């Protein structure tokens, strides 16, 4: 998959046309997957490249920088997940003030037709675009007939009378319902990143941890979790993880810390993927390090039991 971030005047991409979709695709849940499957199906039928059109940062982050929605995927995670689907192009320009006021017709003429040469557009049933999201499916159908591209909507995925959405995934993670999040996503929710040096407190307390920076404005998960770790061996490795600021030691920056069971290897610099299987408890401030240490070992034992049965 080719990533296009700064095309400028010389966009080297799908100049002969493409089959595309537009959206944030945060989390890449089963509803998103249905849309991408249709994009790929039409692209094969029309023998055209497939393309995802998104923005970075997302418009919601741009318009609410102090209170953005918790991001389910970092940009790198989204890129890797999209690449695995078989999509050909990921067009993801930086969201800029000039884009904020585009009228629907200008958005279509300048970006979809003039820049990306879209021949067929697949969108979800809640899709809106352009200035203040005033652009509708009717606008797309009208412009499609005028400019010569097809438009189709893909219906939402409904599970247990609830529409699958990124917001529903965030809510499930917020309340600690990891099983529901897994159902909505079609997989365990995960975070990934490079293992970095920490303060080595975990080693001092008898539970050395792999530390990963969240690189998010707001994390969708907080607390202590039973987890599985991928990226170090062929199989997933069981462990227990903490996502939070470590209030007992006066921490400020949110951090993902993972203690991998029965594992003793220097993995600084390694990229790991941490799957969240079950929430054990919220993060709390303990009166002293010994109390923290005792609870950490209780958490580890509980996590072992949960993962053995999962």
pLDDT tens across 102-158, in order?
999 999 999 999 989 999 999 999 999 999 899 999 999 999 999 999 999 999 999
Answer for the pair 26, 78: CB distance below 8 angstroms, yes or no: yes
Q: What is the pTM of this model?
A: 0.92
What's the confidence (pLDDT) of residue 98? 79
Which residue intervals of 47-106 are DSSP H helices? Answer: 59-63, 75-85, 97-100, 104-106
Within the chain, which residue ranges are assigned CATH 2.40.30.30?
A: 188-309
Q: For the domain made up of 188-309, give the CATH fold.
A: Elongation Factor Tu (Ef-tu); domain 3 (2.40.30)
Q: Residues near 192 by Cβ (< 8 Å), separated by ≥ 6?
A: 74, 76, 77, 80, 212, 231, 271, 272, 273, 274
| Angle, in degrees to the nearest 10, between helices 30-46 and 75-85 | 50
Answer for the pair 169, 185: CB distance below 8 angstroms, yes or no: yes
Q: Position of tokens 């970075």?
A: 56
What's the confidence (pLDDT) of residue 13? 61
2-159: CATH number:
3.40.50.620
The SS3 of residue 236 is coil
**What would you report as the CA-atom Rg of the chain, rounded to the nearest whole angstrom?**
22
| Residues 99, 184: Cα–Cα separation, whole Å | 31
Largest CA-CA distance found in the chain, in angstroms, rounded: 71
What's the confidence (pLDDT) of residue 100? 82
- Nearest Cα neighbor of 244 from 227, 260, 256, 259 is 256
Q: Residues near 235 by Cβ (< 8 Å), separated by ≥ 6?
A: none
Within the chain, which residue ranges are assigned CATH 3.40.50.620?
A: 2-159
Report the pLDDT averaged over residues 78-92.
95
pLDDT surpasses 60 at 9: no
What's the confidence (pLDDT) of residue 47? 96
């Amino acid at each position: 998959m080719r990533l296009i971030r700064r095309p400028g005047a010389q966009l080297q991409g799908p100049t002969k046309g493409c089959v595309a979709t537009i959206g944030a695709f945060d989390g890449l849940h089963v509803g998103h997957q249905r849309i991408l499957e249709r994009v790929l199906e039409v692209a094969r039928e029309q023998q055209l490249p497939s393309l995802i059109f998104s923005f970075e940062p997302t418009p919601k982050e741009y318009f609410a920088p102090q209170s953005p929605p918790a991001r389910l995927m970092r940009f790198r995670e989204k890129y890797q997940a999209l690449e695995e689907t078989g999509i050909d192009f990921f067009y993801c320009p930086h969201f800029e003030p000039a884009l904020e006021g585009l009228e629907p017709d200008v958005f279509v003429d300048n970006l979809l037709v003039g820049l990306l040469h879209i021949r067929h557009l697949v969108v979800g049933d809640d899709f809106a675009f352009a200035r203040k999201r005033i652009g509708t499916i009717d606008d797309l159908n009208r412009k499609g007939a005028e400019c010569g591209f097809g438009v189709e909507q893909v219906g939402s995925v409904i599970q247990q009378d609830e529409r699958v959405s990124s917001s529903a995934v965030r809510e499930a993670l917020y309340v600690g319902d990891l099983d529901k999040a897994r159902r909505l996503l079609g997989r365990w929710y995960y975070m990934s990143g490079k293992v970095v040096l920490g303060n080595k407190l975990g080693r001092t307390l008898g539970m050395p941890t792999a530390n990963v920076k969240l690189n998010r404005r707001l994390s969708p998960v907080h607390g202590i979790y039973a987890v599985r770790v991928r990226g170090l061996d062929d199989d997933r490795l069981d462990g227990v993880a903490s996502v939070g600021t470590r209030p007992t030691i006066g921490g400020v920056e949110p951090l993902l810390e993972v203690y991998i069971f029965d594992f003793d290897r220097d993995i600084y610099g390694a990229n790991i993927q941490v799957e969240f299987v079950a929430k054990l408890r919220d993060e709390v401030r303990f009166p002293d390090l010994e109390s923290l240490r005792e609870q950490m070992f209780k958490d580890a034992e509980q996590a072992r039991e949960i993962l053995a049965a999962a």
